[in-house]
Every structure is written in structure tokens, then in C-alpha cells.
Amino acid sequence: MCTRRATADDTLAVHRIADATFGDGYLTGLPDGARTLVAEVGDQVAGFGWWEPQPRAQAEQMATVPFPHRCAAATRFACVKTVAVHPARQRAGVGAALLDALLADARPCADVVWSVAWCRDGTAPIGALLTRVGLTPFAMVPGYWADDSLVRGYVCPACGGPPCRCAAELWAGDALL
């Protein structure tokens, strides 16, 4: 398995994985290719992820709740926006490899790395991976995805919609970990 920057040639595979993982229509284009990575198993894209650099004000607006006190002095944030693995490749280390590669790419640009994790039945499926890389949960936000699902029109595979009624768990960690 290898991870690499995504290219335009990866768009169809990324969309298929996003539709299977997050619901039809979750993505309408390939996220910023400079910050989007794919994981390949053999010659097939098995997963993708992306992160976004954010000034403090943008991170606070996206989080919708205050960051923990340990983040008080931070001005540069890196948000791991998505990590998704094809259902047939889950539980095989693809997500861990993607998260490691995303963080290696993001950490030099940030004081704090954080993520918004989708929750199913009160649990963030990616929670164990986020813990492994040094992030800790700091807030649970009910209905976090509702407005986004209405604006973008995607159908959540867990609750239906739009609107998506799923909660999000917010995680943060020191970028130097």
C-alpha cells in the first residue's frame, strides 16, 4: 500500500468511495489536490483523505463550539476534513496509513491539528485512529451536518435525509505530537 497526492485521474474513484461512505452527492468535485491524498492497494484507490489549513477564526467558526483551553495560544490550525476508505478495504490499515500521511503533511503548517468526526450511534468510527495519533475528543455537537447536507443535497447513509441528523465529535491535538 502507498499514499500519494491525489490527481484529477483519481476523481471517479474518490467520488465512488465518498458516495459509499458518506452518501450520494457528498462530493461534487475533487478537494484541493495539494492537500488531498489517496491510498492505493495494488493499482486501485482504496481510500482518500484531505486536510485544510485554517486561521483560528475559520477553525472556530467550523467547530461551532470553543476549542479546549490547551489550544488558547494557537493561531494556525490544520483540520483533517475527511478520511474515507472503500468498504471492501476497511479494517486493513488503509485509514491508518492515510491519517498518518495527512498528519505528516499538515503538522508543519499548524499549532493544532483537529478533526470533525461523524458519529454513528454515539460513536465516532474513526475515534480509535484519532486517539492513536494523539488527538482527544473535546465536544459532541448534535445535528452538526444538518445545514451542510441541506446545502449540498447529500443523503446520509446512516440517517437518511437531508437533513442529516447525525452528531459530530470534535477532536484536537498538539501539532507537535
**What digits encode the pLDDT tens for the residues 48-73?**
999 999 999 999 999 999 999 989 99
Is residue 176 predicted with pLDDT exceeding 70? no
Give CA torsion, residues 141, 75, 80, 1, to 10 deg.
Answer: -150
85 with 49: CB under 8 angstroms? no
Euclidean distance between CA atoms 174 and 71, whole angstroms: 8
- The pLDDT of 104-110, averaged and rounded, is 93
Q: Which residue shows C-alpha cell 490547551? A: 70
Mean of the per-residue pLDDT values for the chain?
Answer: 91
Q: Which domains does the chain have, with CATH numbers?
A: 2-174 (3.40.630.30)
pLDDT of amino acid 127: 94
pLDDT in tens, 4-48: 999 999 999 999 999 988 888 788 777 766 799 999 999 999 999
